Amino acid sequence: MRVIIAPDSFKESLSAIEVANAMAQGVLDVCPNATIDSCPMADGGEGTVEAMVAATGGEFLTADVFDPLGAPIRARYGLLGTTRQAGLPGEVGLMGAQVAGEGEAGGGQTAVIEMAAASGLHLVPMDKRDPRVTTTFGTGQLIIDALDHGATDFILGIGGSATNDCGTGCAQALGVTFVDENGEACICGLGGGGVADIAGIDMSGRDPRMAGIKMRVACDVTNPLTGEKGASAVYGPQKGATPEIVEVLDNNLRHLAHLVRTELEMDVEHLPGAGAAGGLGAGLVAFAGAKLERGVEIISEAVNLSERMSQADLCITGEGKLDSQSAHGKTAFGVAEAAEEAGVPVICVVGAIDEDASHDIFVDSRALVEGDVTVAQAMATPAPLLRERVAQVLKDYLAK
């Protein structure tokens, strides 16, 4: 029996790789001769780089960049691999993980970057959080470093930002110049407050390599750039913005959107997802030619999930929780949709299941938190519980 194991992480508990390993052990406890294709997944949020590098046999790289406050930091990103390792009975291996280009690093690979690695909220102490000053400049530096290593395709996860600069800092790192009303270049490393000083956009200095790349942004939120559901109003407060600051930031983003419309002939203000990561979604579209897409679909394509699924007899997926929102872009349902297309039954094992969660797409679904197991117990020993649950559900499935 060939089993593809394609879970997301269990947030604050296990990484996607750790989840996949525990699930694999559960399968092998029941079917020691099973061939397992371990394919850790993500939806563009935290853990995306780690999961995709593992799923494709890629490599991690680091770069010295600036954090959201302009301090030096070493940040990690990934280059996806082209590994094709035949799965053997009882072996936890990679099958059909062909992605991106051929060859070694520098040969036209796909880079996968989490903006939070350079511009994330976790990098800013609570008492220093101020989206008027935090910048995405470091994220742009990661893109440049990946270009230097031969990347031609990019996947960006943009969750967890500390910023509200509409990606202007990132654009500056890519070579875009913003000028003030006097025709002078704006300060490098623009924050959300500095966006108000922009009077013109000069794209002529942008790194010429950007013209030949493909950039896909994993973005599962639909917030526009401005307004009551925009970047500043919805996400600004968690980044340190008071109601007064939110109003200033929103006006600044509206001002920049007007400039993008008039100078770049592009309307990003009302684009679904434009407000993600403090407007980085809009900025990447405007200044880097990116496309905003559903995260799990980008990652499924990058790890060649459809082909790998077609070789399987059974799929096992999972994530931290199944709830009413899971069917709208979360990893487990994205994997299940790919399994359904391939005619492969799919089992889902998660941390917890809400009463209003839909799970008809799975042939079976189980949770760590059930029976006598409490949330605290599941968080304390998730891997052994996960192994046990997978073994139980697999036995039940095979007995049908």
Q: Is 112 part of any domain? A: yes
Q: Is 40 part of any domain? A: no
Residues 285, 334 within the same domain: no
What pLDDT sits at residue 46? Answer: 83
Residues 291, 332 within the same domain: no
Q: Is 92 part of any domain? A: no
Residues 183, 68 within the same domain: yes
Please report, in tens digits, the pLDDT of each residue of the chain (400 residues total): 999 999 999 988 899 999 999 999 999 999 999 999 999 998 888 889 998 998 899 999 999 999 999 999 999 999 999 753 333 334 444 333 333 333 333 346 999 999 999 999 999 999 999 999 999 999 999 999 999 999 999 999 998 999 999 999 999 999 999 999 999 999 999 999 999 999 999 999 999 999 999 999 998 788 999 999 999 999 999 999 999 999 999 999 999 999 999 999 999 999 999 999 999 999 999 999 999 998 888 989 888 999 999 999 999 999 998 876 666 668 899 999 999 999 999 999 999 998 877 778 999 999 999 989 999 999 999 999 999 999 999 999 999 8
Residues 160, 288 within the same domain: yes
Q: Is 90 part of any domain? A: no
Residue 213 belongs to what domain range? 48-83+97-295
Among 262, 295, 328, the domain-final residue is 295
What pLDDT sits at residue 42? Answer: 87
Q: Is 89 part of any domain? A: no
Residues 257, 150 within the same domain: yes
Residues 127, 227 within the same domain: yes
Q: Is 356 part of any domain? A: yes
Query: Which of 309, 329, 310 lies closest to 319 in space, CA to CA?
Result: 329
pTM: 0.86
- CATH number of the CATH domain containing 21: 3.40.50.10350
Residues 76, 29 within the same domain: no
Residues 228, 283 within the same domain: yes
Residues 18, 157 within the same domain: no
Among 265, 295, 325, the domain-final residue is 295
Structural domains of the chain, count: 2
What pLDDT sits at residue 12? Answer: 80
What pLDDT sits at residue 44? Answer: 82
- CATH number of the CATH domain containing 188: 3.90.1510.10
Q: Is 178 part of any domain? A: yes
Residues 318, 289 within the same domain: no
What pLDDT sits at residue 101? Answer: 32
48/394 Cα distance (integer angstroms)? 27
CB 336 within 8 A of CB 301: no
Residues 235, 113 within the same domain: yes
Residues 284, 313 within the same domain: no
Among 295, 318, 341, the domain-final residue is 295
Q: Is 212 part of any domain? A: yes
